[in-house]
Amino acid sequence: MTAAPPQVYPFVPTNPVKRSAPSWWSRQVKLRIAVTGPPGDVRIIVTWVSAVLALVTLWFVFFATVLSALQEGHNQHNAYAAFREQLTQLAPKTAPLGGVITPDAPVALINAPSLGLKNVVIVEGTAAGDLTRGPGHQRNTPLPGQAGVSVVLGRATLYGGVFSQLSQAKPGDPITVTTGQGEARYQVEDVRHVGDPFPPQLKNGEGQLTLISAEGGHWYNGWRPARPLYLDAKLQGSAFPNPGGGLSVVPQAEKPMHGDPGVLFSLVLWLPLLTLAGVLVVWLQQRWGRWQAWLIGAPVALAALWGVSETAAQLLPNLM
């Protein structure tokens, strides 16, 4: 018989080393690495997010300085055609004369050579969205040419900056405004700043036109306007009759230097569409290829970017 192999027992030290439990800090670090992945992946994610935010910011600046002016020009072209049709002698005149007028409706043409204005259409309403189409008539004031103080707001920088030359007006400069009641001639009396004295109170039957834009004098004025700028012009000749029936007050969003918080709901709807457009481009690139994906996805992403930018711009002060 063969002898059985000797049994080998594991070595057991007489004084085993006791390992302390992991510290709270080491447990947190291990948990964070397990959740976020290796540090290299975190850097890649941060880099991509930063690049996307930078591109969106650059796009918004490009939209605000260039594309918004093109959009305003297109809106002015359509408004001019519609208003000229309302004034034509070949059909009954339908240009609004007073009362509650639909916002964005064209109500007048303004010409002021010293301000660089030639056949510029004034639309009804002064909210930030209204002023993307050109200068806007404040709805609780009479129309230009009528008795009383008619107030018109216009942007200083964005969407063409139609009132960017307001500070260059001189006393005596002519301003002509055409409405459905005819042509009204004004003469500039003063350009005043916040804190300057108001013009003398009008007598019965007199008319005044007040143009309002953002205060000038600094390179950052258009992006961070601090206060409004006013131009007062006196009506020359007799005023047109005012049919009345207009608003007595306007919402806060239609007052000078206010944005329109009502567009936040639209912005919330546009942002998911922009995200879906980005996901669509990535998905199409994996299935069809890079060029095919951008050929289909780029127009969708561009439309979403345009909607986000146009809506976000309305949160800024309406005189920008």
For the stretch 28-60, pLDDT in tens is: 444 444 544 455 556 766 676 677 678 778 888
pLDDT at 197 over 50: yes
Residue at a domain's end among 241, 257, 273? 257
Question: Span 208-228, mean pLDDT?
Answer: 73
Together in a domain, 143 and 185: yes
87 Cβ contact list (under 8 Å, min separation 6): 93, 95, 178, 180
Q: Identify the domain containing residue 151 by its residue range.
A: 64-257
Together in a domain, 115 and 237: yes
Closest by CA to 215, choosing from 170, 172, 256, is 256
Rounded to 5 degrees, φ, ψ at 265 are -65, -40
Residue at a domain's end among 213, 231, 257? 257
Lowest mean pLDDT among 23-32, 118-127, 257-266, 288-297: 23-32
Together in a domain, 189 and 307: no
Together in a domain, 163 and 214: yes
Euclidean distance between CA atoms 282 and 294, whole angstroms: 9
Instruction: Give me the pLDDT at residue 215, please.
Output: 80
More confident residue, 294 or 7: 294
CA 139 to chain centre: 20
Task: Give the whole-number percent of the chain exceeding pLDDT 90.
Answer: 44
Q: Is residue 176 part of a domain?
A: yes
| CB-based contact 175:161 (threshold 8 Å) | no
Euclidean distance between CA atoms 200 and 185, whole angstroms: 19
| Number of compact structural domains in the chain | 2
Q: Is residue 227 part of a domain?
A: yes
Together in a domain, 133 and 209: yes
Tokens of 186: 């004004």
219 Cβ contact list (under 8 Å, min separation 6): none
Q: Is residue 273 part of a domain?
A: yes
Q: Is residue 110 part of a domain?
A: yes
Instruction: Give me the pLDDT at residue 303, please.
Output: 82
Tokens of 138: 């404040």
> Which DSSP string corresponds to 255-295?
STT---GGGHHHHHHHHHHHHHHHHHHHHHHHHT-HHHHHH
Instruction: Give pTM, 2 decimals.
Output: 0.78
Please classify residue 2 by burial: count the beta carbons closer than 10 Å to its beta carbon, then call 0-12 exposed, 13-18 middle and 19+ buried: exposed
Euclidean distance between CA atoms 225 and 216, whole angstroms: 8
| CB-based contact 178:168 (threshold 8 Å) | no
Under DSSP, the state recorded for 102 is P
Together in a domain, 147 and 277: no
For the stretch 254-266, pLDDT in tens is: 999 999 998 888 8
Together in a domain, 83 and 182: yes
Instruction: Give me the pLDDT at residue 289, please.
Output: 74
Euclidean distance between CA atoms 224 and 209, whole angstroms: 26
Instruction: Give me the pLDDT at residue 4, please.
Output: 56
Instruction: Give me the pLDDT at residue 2, please.
Output: 56
| CB-based contact 162:71 (threshold 8 Å) | no
Instruction: Give me the pLDDT at residue 29, please.
Output: 47
Question: Span 141-163, mean pLDDT?
Answer: 94
| Secondary structure class of 65 (helix, strand, coil) | helix
Together in a domain, 142 and 100: yes
Q: Is residue 38 part of a domain?
A: no
Task: Give the whole-number percent of the chain exceeding pLDDT 70.
Answer: 80
| Secondary structure class of 71 (helix, strand, coil) | helix
Lowest mean pLDDT among 38-52, 54-68, 150-164, 233-247: 38-52
Together in a domain, 266 and 178: no
Q: Is residue 158 part of a domain?
A: yes
Q: Is residue 137 part of a domain?
A: yes
Together in a domain, 249 and 268: no
CA 188 to chain centre: 30
Closest by CA to 314, choosing from 273, 270, 275, 277, is 270
- In this structure, the strands spanning 117-124 and 182-193 are unpaired
Together in a domain, 176 and 249: yes
Together in a domain, 247 and 277: no
pLDDT at 106 over 50: yes
Q: Is residue 212 part of a domain?
A: yes
Euclidean distance between CA atoms 51 and 40, whole angstroms: 17
Q: What is the CATH number for 158?
A: 2.40.260.10
Residue 120: pLDDT band with limits 50, 70, 90: very high
